[in-house]
Amino acid sequence: MIQKHFKQVALALALLCVAAPGVTLAQQWPTKPVTFVSPFPPGGSVDPLARLFAAKLSDALGQQFIVENRTGASGSIGTGYVAKAAPDGYTFVFVFDTHAVNPSLLPKMTFDTLKDLSPVMLVGTAPMALGTAANKPYKNFSEFVAAAKAKPDSLSYGSVGSGSLGHLTMTLVQKAGNFKVIHIPYKGGGPMSADILGGQIESGIGSVAVLANHIKGGKMRALAVTGETRSTSMPDVPTMAEQGFPGFSAVAWWAVFAPAGTPQPIIDKLNAEMAKIAKDPAVNKQLTETLGIDLKLSSPQELQKWTVTEMDRWAKVIKENGIKPD
C-alpha cells in the first residue's frame, strides 16, 4: 500500500515537472518586446485594431507590443512571415477574412494555413458595407443595381483585392441579381476609400469598420450592409437581404494567430488578456461603435473551427466562379 502511494506521488511530481516549464514560461511572459504583424497597410481595419490591442497590452503586461506592417498578396506575405517565425510567443499576426480565402486563391503560398499557425482568438465579426461618394446619385443598393442593369459594365466597385470577401460577396450578388459591375482590386481599405471619395470608382465594398468614419462624417453614403441583420453602427442602412436578396449574408472577421508550436500557456495568457482589454468599457465602445465590430472573443479551439468552416465555404465560391488572384 505504501509502495503504491509513493508511486502515485512520484507520478504526480513527474507530471508537475513536465507542466511547470510551460506554466512558468507563461507567468514570466513577456520578458521582451512582442511583435504584432499587420499584413495590411495603415488605413484599413486590421492596422488600427492591432495598434489598439498593442497599446493596451503594453500597459497591461509591462512590455512593449510593436505593430509591424508586412503587406501584400491579400495578407499572405505578413501571415507567411509569422508562420515561419520562432514559436516563442514573441510574434503574432492579426488576420482579416482573406485568411480563409487565400488557400484556395493563391497556389504558391509558402505556408499551410491550418498546420503552420496556432489559433489565439477570433476577435470579432462585422458585416461589410457597400459605400459610394456622397455626391453620387445612388441612394440605396436597389438604385445601384438598377443603374448597373441599365448600363452593363459601366459601374465600378472596389474591394481589398481579388478573392477578398468583398469581391466574392459581390460576385455572388451579381450572379443572383443578374447584373454586372467592374471589379477594381486594391491593396487595402485605405487606398480603396481614397478612390471612392475621389470619384475614381463608383463604389467600394469593405468592412463596416473601414468605411464607418467616412459614412458618419457625411463624405460617403452606405448603400447596403451584408449581414443577416442591420449593423449596430449603421442602423439606418438596410441589408442586401432587405433589398431584393433574401437570405443573403457574409461577414468580415478579424483574428489573431501565432506560429505553430507556440506554447499553449502563452497563447492562453494572451487570449485572456485580450478578452479582459476588450471588455473594458472604453475599449469596448471603441471596438463596437467606432470600428463596428461584433465582438466574439473566442477560445483558440473555436477560432480553429471557424477558420475551417470559412475556408470550406469560400473555396466553393472561388471554384464555381473561376476567381483568380490579382
- The residues spanned by each domain of the chain are 9-126+252-321, 127-251
Average pLDDT of the residues of the chain: 91
Beta 251-259 vs 91-95: how paired, if at all? Answer: antiparallel
Alpha-carbon torsion 226, 231, 234, 239, what sign? positive
As a whole number, mean pLDDT of residues 301-308 equals: 98
Q: What is the pLDDT of residue 208?
A: 87
Model confidence pLDDT, tens digit, residues 137-178? 999 999 999 999 999 889 999 998 888 899 999 999 999 999
Answer yes or no: is pLDDT of 16 > 90: no
Fold that domain 9-126+252-321 belongs to in CATH = D-Maltodextrin-Binding Protein; domain 2 (3.40.190)
Q: CB-based contacts of 291: which residues, under 8 Å, 6+ apart?
A: 45, 48, 49, 126, 208, 209, 212
CATH class of 127-251: alpha beta
Amino acid at 124: G
Q: What is the pLDDT of residue 168?
A: 94
Q: What is the pLDDT of residue 21?
A: 53
**What percent helix, strand, coil does the chain show, rounded to 5?**
45, 20, 35
Cell 465579426 sits at which residue? 125
Q: Do domains 9-126+252-321 and 127-251 have the same CATH topology?
A: yes
